[in-house]
Amino acid sequence: MKRIAILGTASSGKTTLAAALAERYSTVWVPEYLREFVDTVERVPVEADQIHIARTQLEREAEAAPRAQQFLFCDTTPLMTAVYSRHYFGGIDAQLAPLADAHPQRYDLTLVTAADIPWEADGLMRENEEVSIIINRMLMEELWARGISYVPIGGSIEQRVAQVADALAGL
């Protein structure tokens, strides 16, 4: 089973892509826990929440893995939590850092969704279109600094699924 990381800013189509890929490959996907967290506690996360969010994301991956068929599509990873931590809190917590550092060992392929679809507000999530541009730049810097190769994914959902299919064929 191959773990596929899907990274990108808010409103860049990660969730839609993960669900479409899971359907195409008759497997499961791991939703972004941050969204559930914000909906449940009815507030945006604070710095102390970041490690809980990242750990819960990984726990959800572990729970889904036995049900995965060939691929497990992960709608975000602790690396994305680390990027947001850098932006909103000025750094990456010492407990969060090792989870983000493990990205290259944990995922077989990293996809980065382009912000080329209409931006939509995401409930209580605080990110807006301007912040998304900053987060995207920070994500690219983080991937480069860590030597993580990725496949850029953009266009319509059909185009995105086809791009991922090509990338998966190369695994």
Tens digits of per-residue pLDDT, 34-43? 989 999 999 9
Given a cut of 90, whether residue 136 has pLDDT beyond it is yes
Per the model's pLDDT, the better-predicted residue between 7 and 125 turns out to be 7
Query: Is there a contact between 72 and 28 (Cβ–Cβ < 8 Å)?
Result: yes
Q: Which CATH class is domain 2-169?
A: alpha beta
As a whole number of angstroms, the distance between CA 108 and CA 77 comes to 13
- What pLDDT score was predicted for residue 1? 96
pLDDT at 158: 97
DSSP-assigned beta bridge partners for residue 5: 74, 110
CA dist 106 and 151 (Å) reads 16
Q: Residue 106: count other Cβ atoms within 10 Å of its Cβ.
A: 16
Confidence of residue 10 (pLDDT cuts 50, 70, 90): confident
Residues pairing with 7 in the sheet: 112
Question: Considering the entire predicted model, what is its pTM?
Answer: 0.94
Residues 6+ apart with CB under 8 A from 102: 78
Inter-residue long-range contacts of 43-48, CB under 8 Å, 24+ positions, other chains counted: 43/124, 44/124, 44/125, 44/126, 47/85, 47/88, 47/89, 47/93
